[in-house]
Amino acid sequence: MSIQFTVDMKDTIGPWIRSVQAQLKNLPREAYQEFKKITPVDTGNARRNTTRQSNQINANYNYATVLDKGRHMTNKGMRGSKQAPRGMTKPTGEFIQRRIKQITGR
């Protein structure tokens, strides 16, 4: 008496990985759009001077660090913007974490 056992495998990992890679490749663009969207608008200078190079977001204006600290009290009074009370970097980082969870399912 003999036993025959056949194992057939379908490659479902490969397509999933390619899908994840494609979505992760778009993540720097999505993060840039999110950062720019939450950048406060008064004159438009901050948004206009926020750029992206590859996977780096650059806020090229003198008061970028003040806006990114969020709304806060200093010895000179309140600083930052009511439009971005948490700044831009922290919320963008949280956006990236949420997107990675959505993309990977983890």
Going residue by residue through the chain, which has 106 residues, state the pLDDT in tens, using 9 for 90 and above. Answer: 778 887 887 777 888 899 999 999 999 999 999 999 999 999 999 999 999 999 999 999 999 999 999 998 889 899 889 999 999 999 999 999 999 999 998 7
Domain count, the chain: 1
Q: Do 57 and 49 meet the contact criterion of CB atoms below 8 Å apart?
A: no
Q: Flag whether 7 is in a domain.
A: no
Of 98, 95, 63, 67, the closest CA to residue 81 belongs to 67
Q: Flag whether 3 is in a domain.
A: no
Q: How many angstroms separate the CA atoms of 63 and 66, rounded?
A: 5
Q: Flag whether 30 is in a domain.
A: yes
Segments forming the whole domain that contains residue 92: 14-104
Q: Flag whether 50 is in a domain.
A: yes
Q: How many angstroms separate the CA atoms of 62 and 59, rounded?
A: 9
Q: Which two tokens stand for residue 20?
A: 């994840």
Q: Flag whether 4 is in a domain.
A: no
